[in-house]
Structures are given as C-alpha cells and as structure tokens.
Amino acid sequence: MSERTLTGDAAARARETADFVRELARDVTPVERLARLRGGVLRVLAPWGVLALGALALKGVSATFADPARWASGFGAVLAGLSLVGVGGVVAALATAVPGREATARAASALVALGLLVSVGLGGFLLHGDPATASPASVGSDLRCLVLAFAIALLPMAGALLYVARAAPAHPAVALATVGAGCVALGALTAQIGCTDPAFRHVLVSHALAPAIGAAVLFAPLRLAFRRLRAG
Amino acid sequence: MAAAQDGDAKAYEGLLQELLPEIRSLVRRRLPDEAAVEDVVQNTLLAIHRSRHTYRPERPFGPWLRAVTRNAFVDHVRARGRRSEREVSLEAVPEPAGEPAPAYEGSGLSPELERALAALPAAQREAVELIQLRGLSVAEAAVRAGVSIAALKVRAHRGYRALRASLSGGGDV
C-alpha cells in the first residue's frame, strides 16, 4: 500500500471521527452528576454507623472489650484490621468506579491489604498463644456471628452498589469484590464488639476472615444486582 | 464539560473537538498499530459521552480524561482478544442458505430482550445485532451494514439506550 493511500485512509478516518463528534454532540442530554466520592462514602458509612450503634445497644459490648487491657491483644488487632478493611474497602470500591480517582483507589486498596494482614496475620498470631481463646469453638456461634455480619453489611452494601453501578467502573469485578469485602468487614467488626465467643477458630473464621468470605460468597449476587442496575 | 453535563450541545462539540489531538496522542503512545488508533479514539469519545456524569467540575479534568482514555484502550485490547478467540477459518463456515435469520432468534435471549430488540428501528437493531450477537468488530459491522464506523457506533449507542429504556419500562437513561 502506498504512502499516499495510507495518508488518504488516515484522512478519511479522521473525517469519520469528526462526524462522530458531531453525532455525539447532537445526542447530548443533561445528566445528573455522580455524587462526590466523599459524599458517596459517607452515604455508605452513615447507615452502617446507625446499625452498629443499634446492634451494640441491643447486644452490649462483650466482656472482652469491656476490659481496656484486652484491646491491646489479638482481639484488638482483629478489630483494628477489620476497621481498615471496612473503611478502606468501601473507599476503594467507590473510587475504583470513578475515572480519575485511581490514586485514591490504590491508597484505599493498600489499607485493605494492611487490614487483612493485621486482622488475619497479626491477630491470628497473637490469638494463637492467648489463653483467653482456649474455650471450645461452636459451629452455631460461628454461624451466628457470620450471619449477623452479613445482615449488618446489607444496607451499606446496597448504598455502595448503587454508587458503583451509577459510576463507570473500569474493572467491575474488582469493585464488586471490594464492596463485598468492605461491607462485610464493617458487619464483622460490629459483631465482634458484641461477641461473647473468644474461641480462636471463631474469632479467626467468623471475624478476621469474614471479609474474604463475604467477597467470595457475595460476588455472584452482587454481580447480578450490578448488571440489573446497569441495565435499568 | 460542566456545560456539556447541562446538555449544551455546542459547548460539548467544542470540547470534544478540542480534546481530539490530546486523545489521539494518548492513544498513539499506547498503540503501535496506526490503523487502529482512530477506532480507539472513537471508542474513547463514546466512553467520554457515556461517563460524562462521573466528572465533577471541582476536580481537575486531565486525570479524568486520561483515565477514560486508558479504560477505553483496555476495553479495545480485551475486545480484540475476545475476537481473536472467536475467529474461525472461512472454510469451516458453511454457505448460508437463503435469507439469514435474525441473530437473536434461537440465541437464548430472554423473550423480553427479543421483543425489545424487535421493536428497535431497523438500523439500530442491525448495529446491536452485528456487534453484540454476531460478535463482529465495529469496523467489520460497519462494512457489513454499509455505513461509516462513526455512524454505526452512534446507531449501536442509540440502540443500547433504547433497549435499556425499553427493558426498564420506559424513559430515557
């Protein structure tokens, strides 16, 4: 193909793009701006705060956390890690969905990774040798706390999902997994403050690992809901 | 962009024209294939159009534009990968007998979606079918439909919007 033909092709394609711009401009209609990222995060965290306060008012604070000395133990590490995963996960999920907020998304994702390291790694390490965790584990208690964590996660999850679906996520799968992990972390955190079962397996599985379980279990339903919201 | 978000077509056209050189330069930096550059540029313009509501006027415009361009480029690479997976040799494709059936017939689509597709204007339905159901590239679909790539993209875009409106029970999206 000669250089002249190539130049001619390029010119034709450029004219086509110019036509396309005119078509898009003709198609433009007023749009409602997506809420600010900060506002979106607050709209997710505020309902969780209300739910958490309500749950704690009903269940009260567990004996573990009533003693300030226990906050510096593995229990405290799990709690701190879950806070990082919860807040970091919500910010990361929402920021991932907004073009131009990649730096915020990366920073928040780093918080999620750090939170998992603190809750599962450090928490697990400290709890392993802690005599307070020696009580026998019960499957019923494990399930109760997981169900409570998921139940508390539902409302903030709906808010996060609505925001992500309205935005323009480049990687919807990542955003949805982070929504699941972050919101379940918030639920697990609330459940842990009122939890009366100090068994090692229970704290590790039903609290520290709850965000990972949430991301895995909730991914398919979140993806379905995301697709429906995008289609509507 | 703020004016475009309020529906000002003139401001929007001016903005897109102004952005074209920067978008082209961003795309060229990532894409060695000169023939595909204009395709990605048009996809980026369409992505800007679809995600214009995500821009906040109090934030800088540059990072937003670069992110949209990057995402459009990644979409292009993914779509190219999917197409090359689906490609089959021409000898393996049997000659069609008579008029081909609409792509959505017997394609496993829900009855609602089939009805919504059937209700689209012919040009929009053809664009949606060629790209989404027959899996052609935009360029291939444009050749098949006998229109320019730009025109095909606009038809497909309008078709998707009409489908969404129809499936959500009316109203524009």
DSSP secondary structure of A95-127: HHTSTT-HHHHHHHHHHHHHHHIIIIIIHHHHH
DSSP-assigned letter for residue A215: H
Helix, strand, or coil (residue A73): coil
* pLDDT given for residue A207 in this prediction: 94
CB contact under 8 A, B13 and A18: no
Q: How confident is the model at residue B102 (pLDDT cuts 50, 70, 90)?
A: low
> Two tokens at A91?
């910010």
Q: How confident is the model at residue B170 (pLDDT cuts 50, 70, 90)?
A: very low
Mean of all residue pLDDT scores within chain A: 89
> How distant is the Cα of B18 from the closest Cα of chain A, in angstroms?
11
Q: Which of residues 152-171 of A touch B (CB under 8 A)?
A: 166-168, 170
CB contact under 8 A, B167 and A231: yes
Nearest CA to A101 among A33, A42, A162, A36? A36
Best residue of A23, A32, A174, A227 to probe chain B, by most B CBs closer than 10 Å: A23
Q: How confident is the model at residue B108 (pLDDT cuts 50, 70, 90)?
A: low
DSSP-assigned letter for residue B102: P
CB contact under 8 A, A20 and B154: yes
Q: What is the largest CA-CA distance in chain B?
A: 59
The residue in chain A having the minimum alpha-carbon distance to the alpha carbon of residue B158 is A27
The residue in chain B having the minimum alpha-carbon distance to the alpha carbon of residue A6 is B35
Q: Which amino acid is at B13?
A: E
Q: Give the burial class of A114: count Cβ atoms within 10 A of its Cβ; 0-12 exposed, 13-18 middle, 19 or more buried.
A: middle
Chain A CB contacts of B9 below 8 Å: 25-26, 28
* pLDDT given for residue B171 in this prediction: 38
CB contact under 8 A, B67 and A33: no
> Two tokens at A89?
């996960």
- Measure Cα distances from B9 to A9, A25, B13, B24, B165 in Å: 29, 5, 6, 22, 22
> In angstroms, rounded to a whole number, what is the distance separating the alpha carbons of residues A209 and A52?
19
Secondary structure percentages of chain B, helix, strand, coil, to 5: 70, 0, 30
pLDDT at A149 over 90: yes
CA atoms in the 13 A half-sphere facing the CB of B128: 22
Q: Which of residues 209-228 of A touch B (CB under 8 A)?
A: none
> In angstroms, rounded to a whole number, what is the distance separating the alpha carbons of residues A232 and B114?
16
Chain A CB contacts of B53 below 8 Å: 31-34, 166
For A87-111, how does the pLDDT look when each residue is reduced to its tens digit (9 = 90+)? 999 999 999 999 999 999 999 999 9
Helix, strand, or coil (residue A2): coil
Helix, strand, or coil (residue A132): helix
Rg (alpha carbons) of chain B, rounded to whole number: 18
For A191-217, how does the pLDDT look when each residue is reduced to its tens digit (9 = 90+)? 998 888 889 999 999 999 999 999 999
Q: Which of residues 59-78 of B touch A (CB under 8 A)?
A: 59-60, 63-68, 70-71, 74
Place of tokens 């990774």: A113
* pLDDT given for residue A129 in this prediction: 82
Best residue of A3, A5, A7, A28 to probe chain B, by most B CBs closer than 10 Å: A28
* pLDDT given for residue B90 in this prediction: 45
Q: Are A193 and B126 in contact (CB under 8 A)?
A: no
Angle, alpha carbons A142-A148-A149 (nearest 5°): 90
pLDDT at A161 over 60: yes
CB contact under 8 A, B150 and A34: no
A53 touching B, CB under 8 A? Answer: no
For B8-45, how does the pLDDT look when each residue is reduced to its tens digit (9 = 90+)? 889 999 999 999 989 988 888 888 777 778 888 888 88
DSSP-assigned letter for residue B100: P
Cβ neighbors of B48 (< 8 A, separation 6 or more) are B16, B19, B65, B68
Chain B CB contacts of A99 below 8 Å: 51, 54-55, 63-64, 67-68, 71
DSSP-assigned letter for residue B6: T
* pLDDT given for residue B86 in this prediction: 58
> How distant is the Cα of B130 from the closest Cα of chain A, in angstroms?
19
Comparing B85 with B25, the larger pLDDT belongs to: B25
First-to-last alpha carbon distance for chain B, in angstroms, is 19
CB contact under 8 A, B150 and A99: no
Nearest CA to A166 among A69, A64, A98? A98
Helical (H) or strand (E) element with B61: helix B61-86
Q: Are B120 and B162 in contact (CB under 8 A)?
A: yes
